[in-house]
């Protein structure tokens, strides 16, 4: 099962068939979706979709292309929205210097900073849009060392990628990594640790090969995953954690190396060696103990104790995982990393 961490199902491109599409996604192998808002209206819509569909989560934010005329009131309106159930990040926010008609750079930077400050206050991860604005985006996120998340559809250099990885960020790879003329994205995808990589669609945009020309939806994420697997010289099954050798060590130590789980730093150290299905789930680790990614009324749960380590922090989490890794409840611990990958190891004895 895949988690599309970036899909705009609030977009009007889905007006005709949104419900049918979203309802069918789990059957297409996409078990979880995050819908990031791009302005107040779309953020509200994302929150509504999250409320309506158990497998949809929302992020709220004002996209740099849409930030023109953004007022203090608009930014203030984001706070209560961000506190709605199933809102797991602030986004999509950032800087976009590509389009000339975009709001002035200084204004974009101001709105970006304000939203990073909100993320820090609410201890939420962020989803960053950075187009042709690498230096400024990097320098601004450096002003907020407590805030991390994902650089969505990462288009920076390998050096910038290294810098962000050091700072604790995740890098998102979308349809463009599959394009013939793509240069940087494949280069970065080749070297980004799998446990710091998120595979996304940006639906309805950035349709991956071989579907170009069609509207993108999360079902196409497999094509992007397949291309990344190819770049890395591994099978898609292995990339997505369905391959062999996906066992967590009995001592709780992870098996490093790409032939193993895509997320070497995830450990299952539960006393009970419950048989777990082989699925890969990306999830957002939030920084507050109460935050829950689970809809009410879930199936009987299995508890897994896990711990993570990252360059900047070390933390543990108690996770209840009802059935097939679908809803995830995070309890306890203090989390710093914004997003992580949760591969359910095939740890059945």
DSSP 339: E
DSSP 333: S
Residue 312's CB: how many other CB atoms inside 10 A? 13
Least spacing, CB of residue 36 vs Ni ion, in Å: 6
| 107, 165, 239, 349 alpha-carbon torsion, rounded to 10° | -130
Least spacing, CB of residue 154 vs Ni ion, in Å: 13
* Chosen residue from 136, 174, 202, 217 binding Ni ion by CB under 5 A: 202
Q: Does 65 bind Ni ion (CB under 5 A)?
A: no
Instruction: Please identify, using beta-carbon distances, which residue of 202 and 265 lies nearer to Ni ion.
Output: 202
Least spacing, CB of residue 244 vs Ni ion, in Å: 35
Number of residues that this document lists for the chain: 349
Instruction: Pick the piece of the chain touching Ni ion (CB under 5 A) from 91-99, 159-167, 189-197, 338-346.
Output: 91-99
Least spacing, CB of residue 126 vs Ni ion, in Å: 13
Site for Ni ion in 305-324 (CB under 5 A): none
**Measured between alpha carbons, how far is residue 222 from residues 111, 174, 211, 246, 340 in Å?**
34, 11, 11, 20, 19
Least spacing, CB of residue 6 vs Ni ion, in Å: 6
Cα(295)–Cα(328) distance, integer angstroms: 9
DSSP letters along 68-132, please? TT--HHHHHHHHHHHTSTTEEEEEEEEEE-SSTTSPPHHHHHHHHHHHHHHHHHHT--EEEEEES
Residue 335's CB: how many other CB atoms inside 10 A? 22
Instruction: Pick the piece of the chain touching Ni ion (CB under 5 A) from 44-52, 65-73, 85-93, 277-285.
Output: 85-93
Least spacing, CB of residue 218 vs Ni ion, in Å: 13
CA neighbor of 328 nearest in space, from 266, 273, 272: 266
Least spacing, CB of residue 4 vs Ni ion, in Å: 11
Instruction: Pick the piece of the chain touching Ni ion (CB under 5 A) from 16-24, 200-208, 269-277, 328-336.
Output: 200-208
Instruction: Please identify, using beta-carbon distances, which residue of 128 and 229 lies nearer to Ni ion.
Output: 128
**Residue keyed to tokens 């998102």:** 172
Q: Which residue is nearest to Ni ion (CB)?
A: 202
Instruction: Pick the piece of the chain touching Ni ion (CB under 5 A) from 88-96, 105-113, 157-165, 330-338.
Output: 88-96
Cα 182 from chain centroid (whole Å): 22
Instruction: Pick the piece of the chain touching Ni ion (CB under 5 A) from 202-210, 249-257, 278-286, 327-335.
Output: 202-210
Residues that bind Ni ion (CB under 5 A): 92, 202
């Amino acid at each position: 099962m895949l988690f599309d961490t970036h899909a705009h199902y609030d977009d009007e491109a889905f007006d005709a068939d949104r419900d049918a599409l979203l309802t069918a996604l789990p059957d297409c192998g996409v078990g979880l979706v995050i819908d990031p808002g791009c302005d107040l209206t779309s953020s509200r819509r994302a929150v509504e979709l999250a409320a309506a569909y158990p497998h949809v989560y929302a992020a709220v934010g004002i996209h740099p292309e849409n930030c023109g005329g953004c007022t203090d009131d608009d930014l203030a309106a984001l706070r209560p929205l961000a506190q709605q159930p199933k809102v797991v990040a602030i986004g999509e926010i950032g800087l976009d210097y590509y389009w000339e008609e975009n709001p002035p750079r200084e204004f974009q930077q101001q709105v970006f900073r304000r939203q990073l400050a909100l993320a820090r206050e609410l201890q939420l991860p962020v989803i960053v849009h950075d187009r042709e604005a690498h230096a400024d985006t990097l320098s601004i996120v450096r002003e907020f060392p407590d805030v991390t998340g994902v650089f969505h559809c990462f288009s920076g250099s390998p050096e910038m990628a290294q810098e962000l990885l050091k700072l604790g960020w995740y890098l998102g790879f979308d349809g463009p990594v599959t394009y013939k003329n793509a240069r940087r994205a494949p280069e970065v995808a080749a070297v980004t640790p799998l446990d710091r990589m998120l595979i996304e669609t940006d639906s309805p945009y950035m349709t991956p090969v071989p579907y170009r020309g069609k509207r993108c939806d999360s079902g196409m994420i497999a094509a992007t995953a397949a291309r990344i697997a190819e770049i890395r010289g591994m099978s898609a099954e292995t990339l997505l954690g369905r391959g062999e050798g996906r066992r967590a060590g009995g001592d709780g130590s992870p098996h490093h190396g790409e032939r193993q789980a895509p997320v070497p730093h995830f450990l299952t150290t539960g006393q009970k060696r419950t048989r777990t299905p082989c699925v890969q789930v990306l999830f957002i680790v939030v920084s507050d103990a109460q935050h829950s990614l689970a809809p009410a009324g879930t199936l009987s749960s299995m508890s897994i104790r896990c711990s993570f380590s990252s360059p900047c922090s070390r933390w543990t989490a108690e996770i209840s995982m009802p059935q097939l890794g679908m809803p995830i409840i995070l309890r306890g611990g203090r989390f710093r990393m914004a997003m992580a990958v949760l591969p359910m190891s095939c740890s059945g004895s």
